[in-house]
């Protein structure tokens, strides 16, 4: 029993999904004919906008309300994973769904639940270690990072699935995905010939797919698939996961079952305006033709659900957020940043003076102690969004400032007025961090508004009223071969903005937008 509630019986069915669509169309006649789509060979029907549960946080009221709003808007595709928030994502989705069903707002057979397995971390990893007594990854298990293993072993997949079912509070999930199998390729890159590593992964996948077929037969899942960040990678990329090899491994696994019918129905991959390779890069062979992943999936009868529609990781590097919002700043952020940098420079100069008077060497670890005001502007110019700055501030700036403060405390202790000067410097740095964030956000918004205007002009009159996020989502859902796209709609306003596309027809030439986005 999950969270002291009975498990929800049943699963998504073609009839249940059709019932939801019929009810939604009766309630909202403006829905476009493409608002709901066939989910490949599963026979299910899903909303073209799905709810991505990657960053759901336990107890966050905004996230809870967003899930409720998504259900009310007719979203019936919910994606999560065993490692998202150490289970918090699965628990929140399961509890919200149970409450909606309990209130009579919908039925279990109308909603498609997707979860993933492969990563072992947090509670999952602790339990695996407890059960096996293994403190280090056993053979076939990859250590991704400290506190994170990766495994396609059927025993580990079984434990992960059972845990997910318990957290979600359901008897079955509709789609069970292997989560980023390319981790195995990346881990073994350079240690063995690429062909040997790929063949070994084929064997692991075939065994994992056979496990999935067994779970279909047992009624715990309805179908399965793969979520991968490298399905659209270049053929010579060592991390490239070849779709045709996945399909072949699934076919071999299905032959071992009673009827030989494969339940490999879906792949999930990143796709956005700045990462359109899934539609443009031919990298997998199907029926003697080398095709892009989307075209190949269509030939193979696979549904494709895309993710990261608003977070692009272009080849040039960095992360670009394809969304805009109103900046909450009261003055020119560039002027405020300039003034704060000047204040930091003055505080650094005061500390320099104290160091010179004390005779201390102000160089350590190969760098000047007090150079933030000099070095930071160039670094900030290469930052695309607040998330990048937050990471740099947390991992680089603050640790170095703290290290410098300890050095100064050791070398200036006893110098007249040193503590007041140091405190003033640290206060100036704290103010600088906020000013940098404001400037980064303002620059990002300005760039994105220029991008939005360029793309809106390409769309035509209708595009003028669309937000950049709506354009990015429309691009993904309009691309031939894309069944649905997942969006991390963690606030009600985001749900409203994204689900408005359910009333919009597909864009006429989505790939032209991708070309315009990189101009």
Instruction: Answer yes or no: are the C-beta atoms of 174 and 11 closer than 8 Å.
Output: yes
Confidence of residue 93 (pLDDT cuts 50, 70, 90): very high
Q: For the residues of 205-228, what is the DSSP string, one character each?
A: HHHHHHHHHHHHHHTSEEEEEEE-
Across the chain, mean pLDDT equals 89
pLDDT score, position 225: 98
Alpha carbon distance 246, 332 (integer Å): 53
Q: What is the pLDDT of residue 365?
A: 39
- pLDDT (0 to 100) of residue 363: 45
Taking residues 177-195, what's their average pLDDT?
A: 91
Res 381: pLDDT: 75
Mean pLDDT of the region 129-154: 87
Can you say whether the dihedral through the CA atoms of 443, 446, 449, 453 is positive or negative? negative
Instruction: Give the model's pLDDT for residue 325.
Output: 61
Query: For 14-321, CATH number?
Result: 3.20.20.100
Work out the pLDDT band at 362, boundaries 50, 70, 90: low
Q: Is 80 exceeded by the pLDDT of residue 489?
A: yes
If you count them, how many residues does the chain have? 519
The span from the CA of 157 to the CA of 212, in Å, is 9
pLDDT higher than 60, residue 475: yes
Instruction: Report the pLDDT averaged over residues 465-474.
Output: 94
- DSSP calls for 60-94: -HHHHHHHHHHHHTT--EEE--TTGGGGHHHHHHH
At 244 the pLDDT is 98
Percent above pLDDT 70 for the chain = 93
Q: What is the pLDDT of residue 210?
A: 96
pLDDT of residue 4: 62
pLDDT in tens, 157-170: 999 999 999 999 99
Confidence of residue 119 (pLDDT cuts 50, 70, 90): very high
Backbone angles phi, psi at 266, to 5 degrees: -150, 145
pLDDT of residue 2 exceeding 60: no
The pLDDT assigned to 359 comes to 67
**Does residue 360 surpass a pLDDT of 50?**
yes
Strands 264-270 and 112-117 come out as unpaired
pLDDT at residue 518 in the model: 85
What's the confidence (pLDDT) of residue 331?
60
More confident residue, 453 or 278: 278
What pLDDT does residue 329 have? 45
pLDDT tens figures, 71-80: 999 999 999 9
pLDDT tens-digit series, residues 392-440: 888 888 887 887 777 777 777 666 677 888 888 888 888 888 888 877 7
For range 115-139, the mean pLDDT: 88
Measure Cα distances from 80 to 30, 60, 131, 188 in Å. 29, 16, 25, 27
Least Cα distance to 252 among 219, 293, 205, 287 occurs for 205
What does the radius of gyration of the chain's CA atoms come to, in whole angstroms?
Answer: 26
Mean per-residue pLDDT, 359-374 = 57
SS3 of 466-487: the string is CCHHHHHHHHHHHCCCCCEEEE
Distance between the two ends of the chain, CA-based, in angstroms? Answer: 54
More confident residue, 105 or 417: 105
Sign of CA dihedral 380, 385, 387, 388: negative
pLDDT at 364: 42
pLDDT bin (cut points 50, 70, 90) of residue 354 is confident
Quick check: 133 pLDDT over 50?
yes
């Amino acid at each position: 029993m999950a969270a002291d509630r009975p498990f929800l019986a049943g699963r998504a069915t073609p009839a249940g999904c059709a019932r939801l669509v019929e009810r939604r169309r009766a309630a909202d006649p403006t829905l476009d004919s493409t608002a709901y789509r066939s989910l490949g060979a599963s026979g299910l029907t899903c909303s073209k906008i799905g709810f991505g549960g990657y960053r759901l946080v336990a107890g966050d009221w905004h996230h809870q309300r967003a899930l409720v709003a998504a259900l009310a808007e007719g979203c019936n595709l919910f994606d999560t994973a065993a490692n998202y928030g150490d289970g918090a994502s699965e628990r929140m989705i399961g509890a919200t769904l149970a409450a909606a069903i309990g209130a009579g707002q919908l039925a279990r057979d109308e909603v498609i639940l997707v979860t993933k397995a492969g990563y072992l971390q947090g509670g999952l990893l602790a339990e695996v270690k407890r059960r096996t007594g293994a403190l280090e990854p056993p053979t076939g298990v990859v250590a991704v990072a400290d506190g994170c293993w990766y495994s396609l072993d059927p025993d580990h997949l079984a434990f992960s699935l059972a845990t997910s079912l318990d957290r979600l509070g359901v008897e079955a999930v509709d789609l069970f995905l292997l989560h980023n199998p390319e981790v195995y390729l990346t881990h073994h890159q350079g240690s063995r010939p690429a062909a040997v590593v790929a063949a070994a992964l084929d064997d692991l996948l075939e065994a994992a797919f056979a496990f999935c077929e067994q779970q279909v037969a047992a009624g715990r899942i309805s179908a399965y698939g793969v979520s991968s960040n490298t399905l659209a990678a270049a053929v010579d990329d060592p991390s490239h996961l070849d779709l045709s090899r996945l399909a072949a491994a699934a076919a071999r696994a299905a032959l071992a079952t009673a009827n030989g019918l494969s339940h490999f129905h879906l792949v999930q991959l990143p796709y956005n305006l700045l990462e359109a390779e899934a539609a443009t890069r031919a990298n997998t062979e199907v029926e003697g033709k080398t095709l892009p992943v989307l075209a190949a999936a269509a030939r193979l009868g696979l549904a494709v659900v895309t993710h990261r529609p608003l977070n692009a990781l272009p080849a040039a590097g960095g992360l670009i957020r394809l969304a805009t919002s109103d900046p909450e700043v009261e003055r020119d952020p560039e002027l405020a940043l300039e003034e704060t940098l000047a204040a930091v420079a003055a505080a650094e100069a005061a500390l320099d003076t104290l160091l010179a008077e004390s005779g201390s060497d102000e160089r350590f670890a190969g760098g000047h102690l007090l150079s933030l005001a000099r070095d930071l502007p160039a670094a900030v110019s290469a930052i695309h969004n607040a998330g990048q700055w937050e990471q740099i501030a947390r991992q680089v700036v603050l640790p170095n400032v703290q290290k410098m403060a300890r050095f100064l405390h050791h070398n200036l202790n006893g110098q007249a007025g040193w503590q007041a000067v140091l405190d003033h410097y640290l206060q100036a740095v704290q103010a600088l961090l906020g000013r940098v964030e404001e400037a980064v956000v303002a620059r990002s918004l300005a760039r994105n508004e220029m991008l939005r205007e360029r793309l809106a002009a390409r769309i035509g009159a209708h595009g003028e009223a669309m937000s950049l996020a709506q354009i990015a989502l429309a691009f993904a859902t309009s691309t031939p071969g894309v069944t649905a796209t997942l969006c991390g709609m963690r606030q009600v306003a985001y749900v409203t903005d994204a689900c408005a596309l359910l009333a919009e027809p597909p864009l006429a030439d989505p790939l032209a937008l991708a070309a315009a986005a990189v101009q």
